[in-house]
Every structure is written in C-alpha cells, then in structure tokens.
Amino acid sequence: MTLRDSATRIGRAGMVVTWVALAGLAAVYVRALEYTPVEVNQGAAQKIFYVHVPAAWSALLAISITGLLSMLYLWLKDRRIDLAAAASAEVGVAFATVMLTTGPIWGKPIWGTWWTWDARLTSTLFLFLLFVGYLVMRGVLVDPGVRGRLSAVIGIMGLILVPFIHLTVYMFRTLHPAPIVLKPSAPSLPPVMLVTLMSSLGVFTLLYIGFMMQRYALGLLHEAREEELAHAS
C-alpha cells in the first residue's frame, strides 16, 4: 500500500475516533459540571481537576509512546515508526499545554497566584520543553535519516528521564495536593468523583488515540509529498 493510501485510511479512522472522543468529552463536561458534587474545600474551581489530571495523563502517555517507538525505530529502521513517534510527541506537547494552562487556572482561586513553582507543574514544564526542543530539532534537520536517528535518541532519553523527574518531585517539598489517586493505598476520592475522573481519563485516552492517528496520517502525507517532489526534479 502506498504512503498516500495508508494516510487516507488511517486519517479517516482517526477522525472517527476523535469525534467519538469529543462526544465523550462533552458528556464528561456535563457530568462534571452538573452531576458531580462540588468539593467542600476548593469550591467550583476544583472541577478543573477533571480536565487537568487527564491532560497530564495523556501527555505522559504520549511521551512514553514516543520513547517506545523511538526504541523500535532504532531497531527496525522503518521511517513510518519515526513519523509515528513524532506524531505522538506533538500530541503530547498539546496535552501538556492543556495541563500547564489548567494548572494556573485552578491554582489562582485556591492559592492566590497564577504560577506556583510546585513540583508537579514544574516537572511537566520541563518535559514539555524537552519535547518542544525535540520538535524544534526535527524542524532544522532536513535529511529524514538523520532526523529519525537523532529524534529517536531524544525520545529514548526523554522516556528514561520521566521517572527521575517524578522522583525529584516526590522528594522536593511541594504545594501540589498530595497524590489522591495514584497512591499505593486505595484512592481517597469519593466514588462519584472517582467515576467522573475515570470517565474523563478514558475519554482523554481516546482523544490521544484519535489525534495521534490523524497527526500520523498527516506525517505520511508529508513524506509522500517530499518523495514525489524529489523524484520530479
């Protein structure tokens, strides 16, 4: 199958997934705003939590997949794997942006300042900047072979960096609410809020998949066009 054919099929499928996910997102918003109780300490602002946390999750998922695909690329050397890794990185940057903007919006009414140098926001900021650097570097490299190899190196290093950044977070004194969900013991959210959160997580994962497929399809199209231009001259 040619690159263009693959791109069309995957792009169409991705669009379907995205629309389903967006519908799910609307449903989650309704549930979060109307049917989930208001948190007693933080008030209505706390509801950003249902977007902020899943965005962070999707960003992390995206970065991990970029890392794994990078390893696969160095092994199999298939340029489509490189295109997929780059697509995931771009989607990850988008979700990280959502997390980094909802964080301050949530923080301002609670703590009185827009940006708190709290550890979890800061570590996401650094991972965000790393992957922006990854995309900038891809932008200046012309040859797909060099671009793929150097991107794969950053992708793998970035993946291994994630746990270190999170460990640094845990050990640094922080303002961030103590981890409610990902504690070793049972999550301490009341069930009704937990369901909203889990639904949102599911929707955001689906959103990641949809965006990723569409961005990958676009990458395949770019690649096809570059080849056609090169052979024309």
Partner 1 sequence: MRALVRAAWHIALKDIAIEWRTKTAFASGLVFAVLVLAVLFFSRDPTAVSSQDIAPGALWVTFTFAAMLGLNRAFLLEREMRALDGILLTPVPKAAIFWGKFGANLVFVGTIEAISLPLFVLFYDVPIWIQLGELVLVIAMATIAFVAVGTLLSAMAVRTRYAELMLPLLLLPFLVPPLVGGVQLTARLLEGRPLSDLGGWLRLIGAFDVAFVTLAALLFPVVLDE
Partner 2 sequence: MPPSADVVLSAAGIARRFAYRPVLTDVALTLRRGEVLLLVGPNGAGKTTLLRVLSGLLHPSAGHVNRPGAIGMVAHEAMLYPALTARENLRFFARLHGVDGRARVDELLEQVGLASRADDRVGTFSRGMLQRVAIARALLHEPALLLFDEPLSGLDATASRTLVELLQTFRERGTAMIIVSHEMERLGRVATHMARLAAGRLGPVESLAGRNAAAVFADLMRGDL
Instruction: Report the nearest approach of partner 1 to the CB of residue 172 (Å).
Output: 6
Tell me the one-letter amino acid at 196. Answer: T
187 counts as binding partner 2 under rule CB under 8 A: no
Selected from 46, 66, 123, 199, the binder of partner 1 by CB under 8 A is 123
Sign of CA dihedral 211, 217, 223, 225: negative
Question: Of partner 1, partner 2, none, which one sits near residue 227, judging by CB under 5 to 8 A according to partner kind?
Answer: partner 2
Question: Of partner 2, partner 1, none, which one sits near residue 114, judging by CB under 5 to 8 A according to partner kind?
Answer: none
Answer yes or no: are the C-beta atoms of 144 and 223 closer than 8 Å. yes
121 counts as binding partner 1 under rule CB under 8 A: no
Quick one: 162 or 198, whose CB is closer to partner 1?
Answer: 162
Backbone angles phi, psi at 100, to 5 degrees: -75, -20
Q: How far is CA 94 from CA 23, 49, 197, 215, 218, in A?
A: 19, 17, 20, 12, 16
Question: Of partner 1, partner 2, none, which one sits near residue 229, judging by CB under 5 to 8 A according to partner kind?
Answer: partner 2
Instruction: Report the nearest approach of partner 2 to the CB of residue 140 (Å).
Output: 13
Give the x/- contact pattern for partner 2 in 131-170, rule: CB under 8 A. Answer: -----------xxxx-------------------------
Question: Of partner 1, partner 2, none, which one sits near residue 1, judging by CB under 5 to 8 A according to partner kind?
Answer: none
**139-170 burial, b for 16+ CB within 10 Å, e for fewer?**
eeeeeeeebbbebbebbbebbebbeebbeebe
154 counts as binding partner 1 under rule CB under 8 A: yes
45 counts as binding partner 1 under rule CB under 8 A: no
233 counts as binding partner 2 under rule CB under 8 A: yes
Selected from 171, 178, 229, 230, the binder of partner 1 by CB under 8 A is 171
Site for partner 1, rule CB under 8 A: 74, 123, 126-127, 129-130, 133-134, 136-137, 140-141, 146, 149-150, 152-154, 156-158, 160-161, 164-165, 167-168, 171-172
Residues that bind partner 2 (CB under 8 A): 142-145, 226-227, 229-230, 233
